[in-house]
Chains A and B, each alone.
Chain A
Amino acid sequence: MAERVYLHVGTPKTGTSYFQDVLFRNRRTLAGHGVLYPADRFDAHFLAALDLMKLPWGGLEAEAIGAWDALAERVRRHRGTAIISHEILAAASRSQVGRALESLGHRTDTGAGAGGVEVHVVLSVRDLVRQIPAEWQENVKHRSPITYARFLEEIGDPARDTRISSWFWNVQEIPAILDRWAHDLPPEHVHLVTVPPPGGAPDVLWTRFSQTFGLDGYDLDLETERANPSLGAPETALIRRVNLAANKQLAPTDYRPLVRELLAHQTLSQRRDSPRLGVPPHLHAWVGEIERSWAAEIRARGYDVVGDVNELIGQPSTEWSDPDRPIERQVASAAVDAVRALALEAARLRAEEARLRDELHEAHRALERSYLRPTYRWREKFVRRLQTSSIGRGVLKAYRGARGRNSLSA
């Protein structure tokens, strides 16, 4: 059984993709230090989370069947430290959390020394001023056509009875997430990694992750291409319009590589000069009040905060660009970049199609050459002659019946 398990359960948009990619690519180095990152593919923990939470995800759930139990078994078999990390785990319900902890070997009636694994829950957190627009953008990148105004209206409704609002608070409401995941853990086993404010040194967040998970001193390759980059206001508005126009025709399996990856992540996120998304001025006070209440609660609970709890109180920008009313010139400019990217992708696919067509042509020619053997031509001629008369057709039918299949030619 593992001696210690770090469960990194969120929150989204806090550098989790980067952290998970570093762990995945360095899993052999980590194993050399007795640290298990149990994943055979980059999204292994995402699939395990879908399975644990019984969460449909555009068809991906079919790949997730049994993934959590398999993950938990690998953790239980490991002797040493194991790390599990995925941000959607933040939304797990109490019963799902109970099942997860039990499957990892956690026992509520004993400490680690009495036979149970020592569970540490880690939550990376960022101020709501950045999280609110980031969550809307994630919705848009997952095919949603919802406007920003409507999104804000839904998350501001105390009833939280829509799909979007319930999900938003499930993955972002820090005290509630910790109530579900850590209510019976000692506070020193609960770690909050705060994301530094914009403009700081780029490696601060990694340093905090490394310190929290006990990875300091390991020789890890920190270069990664995988990240979940942000879009500006006109770029997000453009993707939303694409969703409105193409959702019905574009299957999720095509949307993911073409819109989410190619357009949003690889193309539009490179446009850094466009206005950034933010929180509208009339919501600054509301957001600030929530942030301050969460920070006070975290201080009172005595958790291990890696970073500064005051970083949870965001600094709204004084410049506000409404993505529901973007500057059309900027959207058009983003659209040109998008068309260029799609044209290049189409050209690449056409070249690939031509290559495959050549391959197929070669295969057909090889097949034809084999058909040109004299015995094949004789048999073909014989069958054709039989088909011209009723007696011949009867003979053929009897022959095929005797062979047990009447749909294929002799």
Chain B
Amino acid sequence: MTEAAPGRPTSGDGERVAWGWVAHLRDGGTTPWEAWRAQLDVASNGERSGRYLPGAQQLELLRRLNLAGTPDPALVERVVAASAPGRGTSDLELVGAAPPVRWGPRPVDPATLPPAELIRVASLLLAEDVVADAAPAPEPPRFRRVWARPHRLVGDAWLADPLRLELIRRGRPPGGRSAMVYVLGADVATMTVHAFTARAFDEGGQSWEEWLGDPSRRPLPPRADLAAAADWWRERVGRSRIRIALDADQTARAARARRLPRPPAVSADGVDLARRVAAPLGLLVLPAERARLLRSTLLPRLAAHPGPALALPDSHREWARERADRMRRHLRAQDYRVLGDLDQLLPSAADGGSAATVNAPDDQRVLDLAVRLLIERDGSDQHARGTGERADG
């Protein structure tokens, strides 16, 4: 190791204590940094075990993982070596670990870090897990029902995608001569939540609050604008081949599906975690593969952790009602055939206040979910390895 240059901060008691804390966390310890530092005994000191002292975000995330379970040594090392992706504060110093200097971000007590800082690190690890556990791409159906009525599914993507996949699985891919166009939808409040959810599982992007913005200036999300979708297709196929599909049973019958697959139920925090994982995942795979992995690999894992669903906040309910009314009038004026009732576009007054819903994700809960997913995947890995070893033996 090269000796430190003159004038540089040198390793001192604080750094030795910090290395001791790193060793403690690597061994599964859960003592917070400040409590560890307060012990002030020889046992709390440690030997330098790396090129650099890991950042406060990484170490605090490791402590949270230790609190939640027993992470595999490989996961421990991944956490220690991880870095928060994207722009933002780089690895933060532990307060008291290094002599004070006049540059760099302020050292922190890791226990006081906002959850968002820990989620940044966890999201990269989860993105790597998603790539490693990638579900295989679905095989094309072995047959095609040539006698089936051709169809296209547009409108609310969160509703249309599961039905499209189901029909493809049954040998009925979309498109074809004289296809009937089903514009799938629900009430505007639900479709707005669906639009954000579909976006989170496609490309990530802004937070729910940023994306919603000011209701006075918020346009209807394109994926929730049934009138625009219907008009676009009317220009191409004519009015007679368009159905505004608002009722699940009628839509299932019309599309010759046995049942209308329900969109996957993901909690508000799950949606937000998917959004955050999408960003680093976009640095590991191409955009189309990212969307596929988020839906095929991450979504089932998130769906296994139920929680309150996302709902439109009260501040936007009048906006939704006004937009729904405008859409209803337009669709009625254009005389589209409707499966269901156009009044189903109007959001019900009770949706936003349900105990099963929240108006926004919560950073702390999102972090808890991320930690559970990391531990859970790690556990299943260990189990798989153990099973493999036994089988080998």
Interface residues of B in 113-134 (CB under 8 A from A): 124
Q: A163-B88, A401-B147 are in contact. Are A62 and B1 (CB under 8 A)?
A: no
- Separation in Å of the B86 CB from the closest CB of chain A? 6
- Residue A391, interface by CB 8 Å: no
- Separation in Å of the A8 CB from the closest CB of chain B? 19
- Separation in Å of the A247 CB from the closest CB of chain B? 13
Looking at A178-186, A257-265, A367-375, the stretch in contact with chain B turns out to be A178-186
Report chain A residues within 8 Å CB of B146: 397, 400-401, 404, 406
- Residue B42, interface by CB 8 Å: no
Report chain B residues within 8 Å CB of A97: 52
Residue-wise, chain B 291-333 has the 8 Å CB interface mask toward A (1 for contact) of: 0000000000000000000000000000000000000000000
> Are A166 and B89 in contact, CB atoms less than 8 angstroms apart?
yes
- Separation in Å of the B358 CB from the closest CB of chain A? 25
> Of residues B90, B177, B279, B282, which shows the largest number of chain A Cβ atoms within 10 Å of its Cβ?
B90
Chain B residue with minimal CB distance to A97? B52
- Residue A96, interface by CB 8 Å: yes
Residue-wise, chain B 21-58 has the 8 Å CB interface mask toward A (1 for contact) of: 00000000000000000000000000000111111001
- Residue A170, interface by CB 8 Å: yes
> Are B7 and A91 in contact, CB atoms less than 8 angstroms apart?
no
| Chain B: interface size category | 35 or more
A403-B158 Cα distance, complex, nearest whole Å:
34
A50-B282 Cα distance, complex, nearest whole Å:
11
- Separation in Å of the B104 CB from the closest CB of chain A? 4
- Separation in Å of the A154 CB from the closest CB of chain B? 13
Report chain A residues within 8 Å CB of B104: 173, 175-176, 179
Q: A61-B282, A65-B284, A185-B2 are in contact. Are A54 and B89 (CB under 8 A)?
A: no
The 8 Å CB contact of A62, one of B124, B175, B282, is: B282
Interface residues of A in 78-106 (CB under 8 A from B): 91-99
> Are A301 and B282 in contact, CB atoms less than 8 angstroms apart?
no
> Of residues B81, B83, B279, which shows the largest number of chain A Cβ atoms within 10 Å of its Cβ?
B83
> Are B52 and A183 in contact, CB atoms less than 8 angstroms apart?
yes
> Are B5 and A91 in contact, CB atoms less than 8 angstroms apart?
no
A99-B91 Cα distance, complex, nearest whole Å:
14
> Are A183 and B90 in contact, CB atoms less than 8 angstroms apart?
no
Report chain B residues within 8 Å CB of A170: 89-90
A159-B90 Cα distance, complex, nearest whole Å:
13
Report chain A residues within 8 Å CB of B86: 54-56
> Are B279 and A56 in contact, CB atoms less than 8 angstroms apart?
yes
Report chain B residues within 8 Å CB of A151: none
- Residue B87, interface by CB 8 Å: yes
Q: A161-B89, A176-B104, A406-B177 are in contact. Are A54 and B283 (CB under 8 A)?
A: yes
- Residue A169, interface by CB 8 Å: yes
> Are A93 and B83 in contact, CB atoms less than 8 angstroms apart?
yes
Report chain B residues within 8 Å CB of A54: 83, 85-86, 124, 280, 283
Residue-wise, chain A 157-175 has the 8 Å CB interface mask toward B (1 for contact) of: 0111101001101100101
| Chain A: interface size category | 35 or more
A239-B393 Cα distance, complex, nearest whole Å:
68
A274-B90 Cα distance, complex, nearest whole Å:
37
Report chain B residues within 8 Å CB of A187: 5
Chain A residue with minimal CB distance to B101? A175
> Are B88 and A166 in contact, CB atoms less than 8 angstroms apart?
yes
Looking at A200-208, A225-233, A292-300, A309-317, the stretch in contact with chain B turns out to be A292-300
- Residue A64, interface by CB 8 Å: yes
Chain A residue with minimal CB distance to B288? A62
- Residue B383, interface by CB 8 Å: no
Interface residues of A in 30-65 (CB under 8 A from B): 50-51, 53-56, 61-62, 64-65
- Residue A333, interface by CB 8 Å: no
> Are B55 and A93 in contact, CB atoms less than 8 angstroms apart?
yes
- Separation in Å of the B170 CB from the closest CB of chain A? 16
A51-B86 Cα distance, complex, nearest whole Å:
10
Q: A93-B55, A93-B91, A183-B8 are in contact. Are A65 and B286 (CB under 8 A)?
A: yes
- Separation in Å of the B82 CB from the closest CB of chain A? 7
> Are A56 and B7 in contact, CB atoms less than 8 angstroms apart?
no
Report chain B residues within 8 Å CB of A184: 1-2, 51
> Are A160 and B177 in contact, CB atoms less than 8 angstroms apart?
no
What 20 additional pairs, Cβ within 8 angstroms, besides A62-B287, A183-B8? Answer: A54-B280, A94-B53, A94-B83, A95-B91, A98-B51, A98-B52, A158-B106, A166-B89, A167-B88, A175-B104, A176-B103, A180-B90, A184-B1, A185-B2, A301-B8, A302-B5, A302-B7, A303-B5, A406-B177, A407-B150
Footprint of B on A, CB under 8 Å?
50-51, 53-56, 61-62, 64-65, 91-99, 108-109, 158-161, 163, 166-167, 169-170, 173, 175-176, 179-180, 183-187, 293-294, 297, 300-303, 397, 400-401, 404, 406-408
A-B contact pairs, 7 of them (CB 8 A): A55-B86, A56-B282, A94-B55, A173-B103, A175-B104, A184-B51, A186-B5
